[in-house]
Amino acid sequence: MKFRIVLCCAIALPACSSLNTVKPWDKDILARPEMSLTDSLTGDALDTHIFFSKEGSSGGSGMGGGGCGCN
């Protein structure tokens, strides 16, 4: 149930007319490196590997069960 609610919201988002389309010339702040969806290319990869090795979950911020005999 939780999945379905969040998925519906996610799908509805692009159609929301209340979301103001941001013009290309207004994307100065969004274009800054600190606004990247990846906080740190190497840091996030290291975190993902460590947490995947120490926990029973994977995916979301990473995908693929291969790569090591960790989990």
Partner 1 sequence: MKISEQLALASCALLQPVTGNADGETWRVDSELLVYSESDGRVSILEPVANLGIDFEDESSLDVKLVIDAMTGATPNGAHASSSAQTFTRPSGNGEYTVAPGDIPLDDTFHDTRIALSADWLQPVIDDSTRLALGANVSSEFDYFSLGASATLLRDFNGRNTTLSAGIGLNSDTITPKGGIPDPLRNMTSAGTPANRSGDSDTKTTTDLLLGLTQVIDRRTIMQFNYTLGKVDGYQNDPYKIVPVIDPVTGLPIAQSGNDLPYLYENRPDSRTRQALFWQTVHHLSEDVIRVSYRHYRDDWGIDSDTVELKYRYVLGEHDYIQPRLRYYRQGAADFYAHGLYDGEPLPQYVTADYRQGEFDSITAGFRYGHSFDRRSELNFRFDLMQQNSKVIGTLVGDQLAQDVAPDLSALFVSVGYSVRW
Residues 6+ apart with CB under 8 A from 64: 58
d(CA 32, CA 19): 21
**Per CB under 8 A, does 8 bind partner 1?**
no
Pick out residues in 48-67 that bind partner 1 (CB under 8 A): 48-51, 53-67
Which x/- pattern, by CB under 8 A, does the window 11-40 give for partner 1? x-xx----xxxxxx-xx-xxxxxxxxxxxx
**Per CB under 8 A, does 46 bind partner 1?**
yes
Q: Which region holds residue 30: left if phi is over 0, alpha if psi is between -120 and 50, else beta?
A: alpha
- Please give the residue ranges that form the binding site for partner 1 (CB under 8 A): 2-3, 6-7, 10-11, 13-14, 19-24, 26-27, 29-46, 48-51, 53-69, 71
